[in-house]
Amino acid sequence: MKSVTVYDIAKEANVSVATVSRVLNNTAPVKASTRERIQSLINKYQFQPNALARSLIKKVTGMIGIILPDITNPFFPEVLAGLEQEARKQGYTFFLCDTGSSNLDIKEQYKRETQYLNILMEKQVDGIIMIGGRIDLHKCSKEMAKEVAEINKRVPLVFINGNLPGAKFHRVVIDEEAGGRMVTEHLIGLGHRDIAFIGGYSQMSNTVERLQGFRMAMERAGLPVREEWIDHGGFSVQRGKNMMGRLLEMDTVPTAVVCANDLVGIGAIKAAVKSGLQVPRDVSITGVDGVPLAASVIPELTTMSLRCLELGRAAASVLHGLISKSGDVQTLTILQPELVIRESTSVPMQKEA
Amino acid sequence: MKSVTVYDIAKEANVSVATVSRVLNNTAPVKASTRERIQSLINKYQFQPNALARSLIKKVTGMIGIILPDITNPFFPEVLAGLEQEARKQGYTFFLCDTGSSNLDIKEQYKRETQYLNILMEKQVDGIIMIGGRIDLHKCSKEMAKEVAEINKRVPLVFINGNLPGAKFHRVVIDEEAGGRMVTEHLIGLGHRDIAFIGGYSQMSNTVERLQGFRMAMERAGLPVREEWIDHGGFSVQRGKNMMGRLLEMDTVPTAVVCANDLVGIGAIKAAVKSGLQVPRDVSITGVDGVPLAASVIPELTTMSLRCLELGRAAASVLHGLISKSGDVQTLTILQPELVIRESTSVPMQKEA
Give pLDDT tens digits for A191-226.
999 999 999 999 999 999 999 999 999 999 999 999
Residue-level pLDDT at B1: 37
What tens digit of pLDDT does each residue of A212-266 get?
999 999 999 999 999 999 999 999 999 999 999 999 999 999 999 999 999 999 9
Answer whether residue A348 is part of any domain: yes
Are residues A342 and A281 part of one domain? yes
Predicted confidence (pLDDT) at residue B100 exceeds the cutoff of 80:
no
Residue-level pLDDT at B4: 73
What tens digit of pLDDT does each residue of B139-181 get?
999 999 999 999 999 999 999 999 999 999 999 999 999 999 9
Answer whether residue A55 is part of any domain: no
Q: Which H helix or E strand runs over A208? A: helix A205-220
Residue-level pLDDT at B267: 96
Are residues A345 and A293 part of one domain? yes
Query: How close does chain B come to A281, measured CA to CA in Å?
Result: 16
**Which pairing describes strands B302-305 and B338-340: parallel, antiparallel, or unpaired?**
antiparallel
Answer whether residue B342 is part of any domain: yes
Are residues B117 and B262 part of one domain? yes
Residue-level pLDDT at A59: 52
Are residues B92 and B68 part of one domain? yes
What is the pLDDT confidence band of residue B353, given thresholds at 50, 70 and 90? very low
Mean pLDDT of chain A: 89
Tell which phi-psi region holds residue B59, choosing left (phi > 0), alpha (psi between -120 and 50) or beta: left
Residue-level pLDDT at B211: 98
**Which pairing describes strands B93-98 and A93-98: parallel, antiparallel, or unpaired?**
antiparallel
Beta bridge partners of A291: none
Backbone φ and ψ for B333, nearest 5 degrees, come out as -115, 120
Answer whether residue A182 is part of any domain: yes
Q: End-to-end alpha-carbon separation of chain B, Å? A: 87
The residue type at B298? I
What dihedral angle (degrees, nearest 10) is formed by the CA atoms of A188, A192, A193, A198?
-90
Query: How close does chain A come to B216, measured CA to CA in Å?
Result: 31
Answer whether A140's CB lies under 8 Å from A130's CB. Answer: no
Task: State the CATH number of the domain containing residue B22.
Answer: 1.10.260.40
Q: Mean pLDDT across the stretch A317-335?
A: 91
Beta bridge partners of A94: A64, B96
Choose the closest CB to A53 out of B17, B56, B98: B56
Between A89-93, A127-131, A158-162, B136-140, the lowest mean confidence (pLDDT) is in A89-93
CA-wise closest residue to B152 among B121, B113, B122: B121
Residue-level pLDDT at B103: 58
Rg (CA), chain B: 26
What ipTM did this prediction achieve? Answer: 0.75
- What number of CA atoms fall less than 13 Å from residue B234's CA on the CB side? 18
Predicted confidence (pLDDT) at residue A165 exceeds the cutoff of 70:
yes
Q: Give the A window 55-74 contacts with B, CB below 8 Å.
A: 55-56, 61, 63, 71-72, 74
pTM: 0.80
Give the number of residues written for chain A: 353
Choose the closest CB to A52 out of B52, B72, B263: B52
Domain count within chain B: 2
Are residues A97 and A231 part of one domain? yes
Backbone φ and ψ for A149, nearest 5 degrees, come out as -60, -35
What dihedral angle (degrees, nearest 10) is formed by the CA atoms of A218, A221, A226, A229?
-50
How far is CA B1 from each of CA A154, B4, B159, B329, B342, rounded to the nearest angstrom?
15, 9, 46, 47, 65
Residue-level pLDDT at B215: 98
Query: How close does chain A come to B94, measured CA to CA in Å?
Result: 5
Q: CB contact, 8 Å: A118 with chain B?
A: no
% of chain A beyond a pLDDT of 90: 61
Q: CB contact, 8 Å: A95 with chain B?
A: yes
Are residues B80 and B43 part of one domain? no
Residue-level pLDDT at A351: 45
Q: Mean pLDDT across the stretch B46-71?
A: 71
Q: Mean pLDDT across the stretch A147-153?
A: 95
What tens digit of pLDDT does each residue of B187-201 get?
999 999 999 999 999
Answer whether residue A212 is part of any domain: yes
In terms of pLDDT, which residue wins out, A122 or B146? B146
Are residues A80 and A156 part of one domain? yes
Residues of chain A positioned with their CB less than 8 A from the CB of B50: 122, 124
How far is CA B251 from each of CA A15, B247, B248, B279, rounded to the nearest angstrom?
83, 9, 8, 20
Predicted confidence (pLDDT) at residue A66 exceeds the cutoff of 80:
yes
Residues of chain B positioned with their CB less than 8 A from the CB of A292: 72, 237
Other residues' Cβ atoms within 10 Å of the Cβ of residue A341: 13
% of chain B beyond a pLDDT of 90: 61
What tens digit of pLDDT does each residue of B294-324 get?
998 889 999 999 999 999 999 999 999 999 8
Report the chain A residue with the minimal C-alpha distance to residue B75. Answer: A72
Are residues B214 and B140 part of one domain? yes
Mean pLDDT of chain B: 89
| Sequential DSSP letters for B28-71 | S---HHHHHHHHHHHHHTT----HHHHHHHHS---EEEEEES-T
Beta bridge partners of A302: A286
Residue-level pLDDT at A1: 38
Task: State the CATH number of the domain containing residue B335.
Answer: 3.40.50.2300
Q: CB contact, 8 Å: B267 with chain A?
A: yes
Question: Burial level of B107, CB count in 10 A (0-12/13-18/19+)?
Answer: exposed
Residue-level pLDDT at A88: 78
Are residues B16 and B160 part of one domain? no
Answer whether residue A1 is part of any domain: no
Q: Mean pLDDT across the stretch B114-128?
A: 86
Q: CB contact, 8 Å: A315 with chain B?
A: no
Are residues A43 and A80 part of one domain? no
What tens digit of pLDDT does each residue of B236-259 get?
999 999 999 999 999 999 999 999
Answer whether A196's CB lies under 8 Å from A230's CB. Answer: yes
Rounded CA-CA distance A58/B39 in Å is: 29
Answer whether B88's CB lies under 8 Å from A104's CB. Answer: no
Residue-level pLDDT at B281: 96
Are residues B315 and B252 part of one domain? yes
Predicted confidence (pLDDT) at residue A25 exceeds the cutoff of 70:
no
Choose the closest CB to B296 out of A17, A122, A270: A270
Beta bridge partners of B289: B305
Sheet holding A256-259, edge to edge: A230-231, A195-198, A256-259, A284-289, A302-305, A338-340
Answer whether residue A217 is part of any domain: yes
Answer whether residue B1 is part of any domain: no
Contact B95 A100 (CB under 8 A): no
What tens digit of pLDDT does each residue of B12-48 get?
888 877 788 778 766 667 888 898 898 888 888 877 7
Choose the closest CB to B100 out of A17, A81, A122: A81
Predicted confidence (pLDDT) at residue A283 exceeds the cutoff of 50:
yes
Q: Mean pLDDT across the stretch A34-42?
A: 88
Answer whether A304's CB lies under 8 Å from A286's CB. Answer: yes
Residue B239: domain span: 61-353
Query: How close does chain A come to B13, measured CA to CA in Å?
Result: 16
Q: Give the A window 5-44 contacts with B, CB below 8 Å.
A: 7, 17
Q: Mean pLDDT across the stretch A338-345?
A: 97
Backbone φ and ψ for B160, nearest 5 degrees, come out as -110, 125
The residue type at A107? K
Answer whether B79's CB lies under 8 Å from B129's CB. Answer: no
Residue-level pLDDT at A341: 97
H helical segments located in chain B = 6-13, 17-25, 32-44, 51-58, 75-89, 106-122, 142-154, 176-190, 205-220, 237-248, 262-274, 308-324, 349-352
CA-wise closest residue to A302 among A286, A317, A326: A286
What is the pLDDT confidence band of residue A353, given thresholds at 50, 70 and 90? very low
Q: Mean pLDDT across the stretch A342-348?
A: 96
Q: CB contact, 8 Å: A116 with chain B?
A: yes
8-state DSSP, A279: T
What is the pLDDT confidence band of residue A142, given thresholds at 50, 70 and 90? very high
| Sequential DSSP letters for B73-121 | STHHHHHHHHHHHHHHHTT-EEEEEE--GGGS-HHHHHHHHHHHHHHHH
Report the chain B residue with the minimal C-alpha distance to residue A11. Answer: B16
Are residues A85 and A14 part of one domain? no
Residues of chain A positioned with their CB less than 8 A from the CB of B116: 93
Predicted confidence (pLDDT) at residue A27 exceeds the cutoff of 70:
no
Predicted confidence (pLDDT) at residue A57 exceeds the cutoff of 60:
no
Residues of chain B positioned with their CB less than 8 A from the CB of A93: 95, 97, 116, 119, 123
**Strongest mean pLDDT among A276-285, B124-133, B290-299:** A276-285
